[in-house]
């Protein structure tokens, strides 16, 4: 295949990709991996209020160091992150939902027991 033919094929492919992207519609209001407080479940909002007040927390492990062993949050030294339970209705255990707070105040939400996180935005 000549370089001209290869360049033409590449341009056609790029044009098709641009058309496909344009047909997807407008970009979301916030990037993937983020969630607004208004989009969180009511129980998560209640947990955020407890965090802001400094407690009292309903679970003994609330406020414990979160080790970030999964490496999904920005790397920080041990003790930087603290975890808090988000109550799950109809579940007798702590469930899978948590809010993790960094020492600088950043907040993250997981509803799948640390398999994924979304940064909480005001």
Q: Is residue 83 flagged as an active site residue? A: yes
- End-to-end Cα, the chain, rounded Å: 54
| CA 31 – CA 23 distance, rounded (Å) | 19
| Gyration radius of the chain over CA positions | 21
How many Cα neighbours within 13 Å face the side chain of 51?
25
Q: Decide: 50 and 57 in contact? Cβ < 8 Å.
A: yes
Residue 19's φ and ψ, nearest 5 degrees, are -65, -45
Q: Is residue 43 flagged as an active site residue? A: no
Among 34, 39, 113, 122, which one carries the catalytic annotation?
113
Among 30, 34, 49, 83, which one carries the catalytic annotation?
83
Residue 10's φ and ψ, nearest 5 degrees, are -65, -45
Active site positions, annotated? 83, 113
């Amino acid at each position: 295949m000549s370089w001209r033919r290869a360049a033409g094929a590449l341009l056609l492919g790029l044009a098709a990709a641009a058309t496909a992207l344009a047909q997807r519609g407008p970009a979301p209001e916030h990037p993937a991996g983020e969630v607004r407080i208004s989009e969180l479940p009511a129980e998560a909002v209640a947990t955020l209020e407890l965090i802001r007040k400094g407690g009292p927390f309903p679970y003994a492990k609330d406020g414990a160091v979160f080790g970030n062993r999964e490496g999904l949050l920005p790397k920080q030294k041990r003790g930087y992150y603290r975890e808090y339970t988000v109550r799950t209705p109809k579940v007798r255990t702590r469930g899978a939902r948590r809010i993790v707070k960094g020492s600088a105040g950043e907040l993250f939400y997981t509803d799948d027991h640390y398999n994924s996180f979304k940064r909480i935005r005001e």
